[in-house]
Amino acid sequence: MMSRHHGTFKKLNIPGPAPWPIIGSLMEINKAGFHSFQLECRKKYGKIYGYFGGLSPQTLVVGDKEMLRKILVKEFNNFSDRIIFKGFNGDLESSVNNLKGNHWKHVRNKITPAFSTGKLRKMVPLVDYASDTLLEALRKKVKDGDGVMEMLEVYGAYAMDVICSTAFGIQVDSQQNPNDEFIVNAKKFMILNFSSSIILILMFLPKLHFLMPFLGWSFIDKHVQKFFRNVTVKLLDERVAGNKDRVDFLQLMKNVQHGEDGDSDEEEDDDIDKENVSGSKLPNSWYRKGITFKEILGNAEIFFLAGYETTMITLTMASYYLAVHPEYQDKLRRELFDKIGSEPLTYDNIRNVAYLDMVINETLRINPPATRTDRVCLKDTEVNGVRIPAGMHISIPIYSIHHDPDNWEDPEKFIPERFEDKDRHDPLTFLPFGYGPRNCIGMRLAQMELKMSLAKIVRTFQICVCSETKIPPDLATFSLLKPKMSKLKLVEIK
Ligand code: HEM
């Protein structure tokens, strides 16, 4: 049975899978998983196709780089929102991730300086401390056992330590103190994440949204929310606006809470606009100056949610690829010794190790933790001959763009050398952090965090496969692209 929505794509002359009544393509996606569904559809329908999600607006999938350049950058103002489920995000409702239109622009503008080069440089000691803690824990594990370990656990604890210190200014050692109240609550907080099947159902049946608050359904457990609200109130009360000794995000947000612009010693951001935000300055047309307590709380929480699993997965997969390809691991180790020797790692010297960047990029290309992102069309817009009506959802199939042989030769092969010459590939064919003014705000913090820990581990240990390593790994089907398990063996280099 053809639906009204399917008819829309027919009229636009856009191919795509025929939908089931009510549930659209939900079953196919559920069966194949988002990343495999993307690959199958690209093979069948090409780079631009449409599918229909039950009662939700139609979804136009755009894997074509020229169209994406328009949607994500040139025509950004007509596509600045992401799909947002209202009513059951609890305190996350006010986070930058869940805001729309000018409200989003205002909050994003206010918190962007917290991620500037100057601020990140000041955060290095926090990340350095967490990566030293990680190294110590690994040394102990190797000394006390056979060196075989579940990398997801090891890197999960590290990612948790980094977020606790950079977001909340709290030092925890999740390896040693897994029962700390903060960690226990943070872990519960992360159980229901973007990968939850509730999200998938709501994406396809958004008319059910209105029921959620009545059913008391929220992504986050009420007690966990209360815990974080209380902690944030307490920590904010202790903070003095403008305190330059503290550089965690809570402090940086407190600094702009009442409309002050934060530190005046802020060095101009050298990379943020040039690298990926495309230089388009966001208009600041919101009616108030500062940000509210609710926005601070929501953002502190979203930094947890958005930064934890993504980082853990990337480190786990990078270690896996280095174990499976010891020749690349040796090359990375050699370059680390050539460029840094046994000197301490700093924000600057680590940026000189080009091969580290290449290994991480290639990991994120083959295995982007977020396999897709999206935008909503806000105003009828013609993009490269396709007339996109207001209200249509745009899905950006990051995974299939990264695995498209038109973009990458032998896309399934792990070859860090592809990233040797940065200018050789179009940035719209490599989008692990999204692209344009609404890209990942934590991108450079994540890169620093990934580099610090991977560099320290490769300098200290040989990462090896063992009899329990699953090659290739089993990947979760419709969540973040996460291996179900990842056992590797570490051997200390004497
Ligand atoms: C390897 C690590 C990470 C990956 C792969 C990743 C990936 C992404 C992607 C694909 C998006 C959507 C971008 C778009 O739609 O164009 C995103 C958004 C976002 N990320 Fe990340 N992320 C990572 C780490 C982090 C960290 C460490 C933080 C926070 C400290 C963070 C905070 C956010 C936020 C707040 C958004 C929403 C931005 C907005 O709507 O304005 N992410 N991330």
* Region of poorest pLDDT, from 210-224, 324-338, 352-366: 210-224
pLDDT in tens, 276-321: 333 344 445 556 788 999 999 999 988 988 999 999 999 999 999 9
466 is in an annotated binding site: no
Residue 196 pLDDT level (bands cut at 50, 70, 90): low
Residue 2 pLDDT grade (very low, low, confident, very high; cuts 50, 70, 90) = very low
Residue type at 374?
D
Ligand 1 midpoint to CA 302 (Å): 9
**What's the rounded mean pLDDT across residues 406-410?**
97
pLDDT of residue 281: 46
Read off the DSSP letter of residue 416: G
Between CA 448 and CA 111 the distance in angstroms is 19
Question: 3-12, 70-79, 159-168, 332-341: lowest mean pLDDT where?
Answer: 3-12
**Cα(21) to centroid of ligand 1, in Å?**
34
Q: Is 383 helix (H, G, I), strand (E, B) or coil?
A: strand
User: Is residue 432 in contact with ligand 1, taking CB distance under 6 Å?
Assistant: yes
The minimum-distance atom of ligand 1 relative to the CA of 104 is: 41
Least confident segment among 165-174, 392-401, 446-455: 165-174
* Domain spans in the chain, listed from the N-terminal domain onward: 7-262+286-492
For the stretch 238-288, pLDDT in tens is 888 878 778 899 999 999 887 655 444 444 444 433 333 333 444 455 567
pLDDT higher for 211 or 50?
50
Phi, psi of 68 (to 5 degrees): -65, -35
Looking at CATH, the fold of the domain delimited by 7-262+286-492 is given as Cytochrome p450 (1.10.630)
Mean pLDDT computed over 50-62:
79
Q: What is the pLDDT confidence band of residue 423, given thresholds at 50, 70 and 90?
A: confident
Cα 401-46-49 angle, rounded to 5 deg: 95
- d(CA 36, ligand 1 centre) in Å: 22
Whether 433 is in the pocket of ligand 1, judged by its Cβ within 6 Å, is yes
- Summary mean pLDDT of the chain: 86
Ligand 1 within 6 A of 445 CB? yes
Q: Is the CB of 17 under 6 A from ligand 1?
A: no
- Mean pLDDT across 317-334: 98
Residue 105, class by beta-carbon neighbours within 10 Å (0-12 exposed, 13-18 middle, 19+ buried)? buried
Q: Give the rounded percent of residues in the chain with a pLDDT score beyond 90.
A: 59
pLDDT category of residue 393 using cuts at 50, 70 and 90: very high
Helical segments of 240-325, H only: 249-257, 272, 293-324
The pTM (predicted TM-score) of the whole model is 0.91
* Ligand 1 pocket residue status of 303, Cβ below 6 Å: yes
Does 127 sit in the ligand 1 pocket, CB within 6 Å? no
Report residue 455 CA to chain centroid gap: 21
Contact, 14 vs 388, CB < 8 A?
Answer: no
Atom of ligand 1 nearest to the CA of 313: 1
